């Protein structure tokens, strides 16, 4: 009597087909938008998802300056960074961050939703965020993504 062994499919890094997705952030809530972008970057939307293999796609986010937040986060949410010098802790409110660097708000939100390892740093390089409606990735023909 012979038994047939079933083997689990494990995708190789060179077998991954990457797609480009276009996300319009205007009117979207920051946290919900970041969660969906993180899913696309990790590749969890693909049937062959494997945590140890970088399966994710490229994501282009436009209109980053037009995101929404709920509650009083616009005044109360504070971003912290350190200059590296003693006493160099800098604090910036979300309202000021959106005025100066709206791309950074989405990048930091998505970064917090990715795993904390070198694979996540590689995934974050595939995130392209732009404050306005224009982006230089027309040649890649990104597919628009509905986030309803």
The three-state (H, E, C) secondary structure of 42-99, written as one string: HCCCCCCCCCCCCCCCEEEEECHHHCECCCCHHHHCEEEEECCCCCCEEEEEHHHHHH
State pTM to two decimals: 0.91
For 47-66, the pLDDT digits (tens) are 989 888 999 999 999 999 99
- pLDDT tens-digit readout, 21-37: 999 999 999 999 999 99
Distance CA 45, CA 42 (A): 8
Q: What does the pLDDT average to over 89-109?
A: 97
> For 122-143, how does the pLDDT look when each residue is reduced to its tens digit (9 = 90+)?
999 999 999 999 999 999 999 9
Full set of structural domains in the chain with CATH = 18-69+102-144 (3.90.1180.10)
């Amino acid at each position: 009597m012979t038994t047939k062994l079933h083997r689990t499919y494990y995708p190789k890094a060179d077998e991954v087909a990457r797609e480009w997705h276009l996300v319009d952030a205007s009117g979207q809530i920051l946290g919900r938008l970041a969660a969906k972008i993180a899913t696309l970057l990790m590749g969890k939307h693909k049937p062959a998802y494997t945590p140890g293999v970088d399966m994710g796609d490229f994501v282009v986010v436009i209109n980053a300056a037009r995101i929404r937040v709920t509650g009083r986060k616009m005044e109360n949410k504070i971003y912290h960074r350190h200059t590296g010098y003693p006493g160099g802790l800098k604090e910036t409110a979300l309202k000021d961050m959106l005025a100066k660097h709206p791309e950074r708000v989405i990048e930091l939100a998505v970064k917090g939703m990715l795993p904390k390892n070198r694979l996540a740093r590689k995934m974050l390089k595939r995130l392209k965020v732009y404050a306005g409606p224009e982006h230089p990735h027309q040649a890649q023909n990104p597919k628009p993504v509905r986030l309803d």
